[in-house]
Amino acid sequence: MASAKMVFTIPAQSFTCIRNRHLRRPSKFTAVPFCVEFQMFLQQKKFNSIIPGISIQDLLCSIIALYDVSLPNIGMEDLRASICARGAKTIVLVQDEREVIEEYQKKISRIDENDYSTTHIKNVFVKQEEKEKIRMLSAVFSDSESSEDEEIETESERENKEQFNTAMKEFLAIVQERRQQRREMYATRAIFNLQTVGIESRILAALTFQRTVLKSKEIIIQLSLMSTRRRYRRCGVGKYMMKLLKDPSLVGLYDAIVTHADSGAVKFFKRCDFSDDILLNSKFREFEDDWTNTTTMSFFPPFNMGMGTLINIKDVELEIEFWKKKSLAAYQAQTVFMTRLAQETKDLRKQLISQKEKTINLAKELEKTKVEKFQLEKKVLQYQLEETQQLLRRESNSYSDDMEELQNEIKQEFIENLNDSLGMQASSIEVKELVQASIHTDVKISVDTHVSELTEPDLRTRLYYCGGLDQPERLKQILTSGFSIQDFHTGIYGKGLYFSSNASVACKFSPPHQLLVADVYLGSTETVLQKEINRIGPSEGFDSILIPGRLNENFSSEQSDLDQEFVIFSHLQVFPVCLLIYYIGEKDEIVRGENITNVI
C-alpha cells in the first residue's frame, strides 16, 4: 500500500437505485472510494499499485477516459495535466470486481431470455466498441498541439507526455483484448472470470480537486473535474462524491468550494447546496480565466464543517460578536457617508441658487445686448441696402447701355454682311427684333469645362447658324437651353453643327426671316475638301473643320471664300448670342434660296 500522503482509502459504500430497463443498471451495488494524488506517484520511478491487480498507469488512463467521455471539449492532454498537477487529488469510486462479474452473468441470462442470436450480439458490441475506440483514439493521438507549446515544453514534460501516450496505447490494447474475450463469452454463454474484468469495467465516478489559498488568506477547494458513468447516474453516486468532497477529514479545512459548471450541471450543483449568485462569487474571479462558457458556483460550509458533531457554543458566540462589530463598523461608515452626502447636497443647492440668480441677470443683460445689436445691424443693413440699390441702378444703366450697343453692333454687322454678299441697299434691309439669349448657369459651366480641354481654347469667333430650317421651333429653345445633339444635321461633309461667317449663306439654311447668331469656339481647325456624309468628327489633334461650303460647286472660284462653312461636332463648343428677326423687302426670295435640299 502506498503512503498515506499519496492515497486515502475510504470505507465501502452501498448504493440502491430504481431499475431502468433502458440503462440496464443494477438495483444494488457496492463501491470503494480512493483519494489519489497522481503527481506524487508519477515522480517515483517505481511505485506500488493502489488497487490490487490494477496499475497506477491503468487507473490514470481509465479516469482520463471517463472524463473525456463527459467532457469532450477539453482534450486528453489537458485532462492529464489537470489530474497530474501539483497538489491535485482525485477521488475515484471503484466497484468490486465480483459484482461486475455477476452483472456480466446476468446479461447472459437476459440474452437467453430474449433469445438473441450470436451474430446480433457481436454486431451490437462491435458497433459500441468502434464508437468508443474512435472517440478515445482521436483524443489520445491528437496532433493539435501548436509549435509554440512544443517549444516551451521542458524535457521532463515531453518525457511524461511520451510515457502517457505509450501507456494509453497499451491500456487501449488490453481493453480491446478483454472486450474481445467478453464477446466470445457472451456468444458461447461461458462463465466470466477475473481476467475478463479490468478497471474500465469497475470505475463508476471520479472527481479532481485542488487546494488554493487566495490573497485574502482564504482556503479554497477548487473542483476542476467531475464525471459519473451514464448507467450509474441518478443512483446517488454524484451526491456521495460531493459529500466526500465536503468532508474536511478528507480534503482538509477550507473556507469555500468553487467550481465552474457547464449548463447541464448547474441544477446538480444547486441540489448540492452550491450557489450561482454573481455578487457572492465575484470574489473568485481569479479562477475564471481558465474556463469559458461556464457558471461560477460556490459552497460555503457550516460551522461544524459537515462533521456531524456539535460546535462549541463559545465559538458561535465569538463569531456572532465578531459579526456585530463588523456590522456596526459598516453601519457607522454608511451613516458617515450619508451625513456627508446630505451636507454636500445642501452646499450644492446653495451654489445652484446663487448660480441661478447670476444666470437670470446674465440673461437679462444678454437680451438687452441683443436688442442693441439688432438696432445696429438694422442700421447697417439699411445702409448696405441703399448702397446696393444705387450700385444696381448704375450697373443696370451700364448693362442696358452695353446690351443696346451690342445689339446695334450685331444689327449693323448683319446688314453690312448682306450688303457685301448680295449688293443690296441698306434701306431695303430691316431688323424688326433682336431676341437676347438667356442661358442657364449650368450650361455655361458645361461649355467652359469642355472648351478648356480644346487644343486652342482661346480661339473664338461670332458666326451665323446654318440650321433650323427643318425645326424652326428649336431656335427660341436654343436661346434658353443652348445647343444639343438633336440640333445636329447630317450634311454632305458629316454630321454636326454648321456655321458661316456669311449671313446670306446662313439665311438659306434658316427659317424665313430668322437667323441665329452664336459664339463658336473653333479651337484648332482642320481644312477639309473631301465630302463625307458619315464623318462624325475632325481628325486627331483638331477641334473643328473648315469646308468650302455646301452651296459652292467650284472650289477655285472667287465666291468660294464667301461660301465657306465651319462644322462643329460638339454642342458644348457653341454658345448662342441672339436671334435676329429681319425683313429684306422685294429681294427676300433671293436671300432664302429656291432649293437647297440636295446639300442639306
Strand 13-16, strand 219-228: pairing: unpaired
Backbone torsions φ then ψ of 35, nearest 5 degrees: -110, 115
pLDDT given at position 423:
63
pLDDT given at position 272:
92
Helix axes 155-188, 56-70, angle to 10 degrees: 80
Q: How many residues does the chain have?
A: 600
For the CA atoms of 510, 515, 519, 523, what is the dihedral angle to 10 degrees?
20
Question: Residue holding cell 463501491?
Answer: 31
Helix axes 76-83, 155-188, angle to 10 degrees: 110
Given its phi and psi angles, is residue 593 left (phi above 0), alpha (psi -120 to 50 degrees) or beta?
left
The partner residues of 222 in beta bridges, in order of sequence, read 210, 258
Low-confidence stretches of the chain (pLDDT < 50) are 1-4, 111-129, 131-151, 426, 557, 590, 595
Q: Collapsing DSSP states into helix, strand and coil, what is residue 136?
A: helix
Strand 88-95, strand 525-527: pairing: unpaired
Evaluate whether 542 touches 526 at the Cβ level (below 8 Å): yes
> Which helix (H) or strand (E) segment is 209 a member of?
strand 203-213
> Which helix (H) or strand (E) segment is 505 a member of?
helix 503-508
How far apart CA 123 and CA 119 sit, in angstroms, is 6
Q: What is the DSSP letter of 255?
A: S
How far apart CA 545 and CA 45 sit, in angstroms, is 106
**DSSP letter string over 309-320?**
SPPPHHHHHHHH
How far apart CA 194 and CA 215 sit, in angstroms, is 51
Composition of the chain by helix, strand, coil, percent to 5: 50, 20, 30
